[in-house]
Copies of this chain bind each other. A is one copy, B any other.
């Protein structure tokens, strides 16, 4: 029974590292200092980041880590469910660390760009119900609601 989406995220950095290391071993991949560094930095991020943002921040701490390594590592983290890819409406992909966070989806203001998080167990349950009907095994979902936040909804244009 696949349940990656529904498994609780790791609640300690150590546990997350363990998941990553197991994943690498299983695929006969190597644990490099760069990968370890990116994992640690990413998991401690307070919020979702674009690859670019992550790269810029990491580069300040260690200028020897390249752009492509960040991209490649982010993909690995996605594969082992330590990162979640989020299409948040702009042209780039954002990544949300799956660490100590409860699953949630997003409300996005089209005017000021403000992003809020929401969660409804009922919606999660209904999705399960739908999947069962279609005989579909879900791994993850995207759910974003676009519109205008309280500060922007009256504003002209």
Within the complex, what minimum Cβ distance (angstroms) separates A141 from chain B?
Answer: 4
Contact status A136-B116, CB under 8 Å: yes
Contact status A141-B143, CB under 8 Å: yes
Tell yes or no: A135 within 8 A of B by CB: yes
Q: Which of chain B's residues have a CB closer than 8 A to the CB of A148?
A: 2, 136-137, 139
Within the complex, what minimum Cβ distance (angstroms) separates A108 from chain B?
Answer: 9
Give this chain's copy count: 2
Number of interface residues, chain A, beta carbon within 8 A: 32
Q: Which of chain B's residues have a CB closer than 8 A to the CB of A2?
A: 147-148
Tell yes or no: A146 within 8 A of B by CB: yes
Q: Mark A55-88, 1 if CB is under 8 A from B, else 0.
A: 0000000000000000000000000000000010
Q: A139-B147, A142-B142 are in contact. List 10 more A-B contacts (CB 8 A).
A: A107-B131, A123-B126, A134-B150, A136-B148, A136-B153, A137-B147, A137-B148, A138-B146, A139-B146, A142-B143
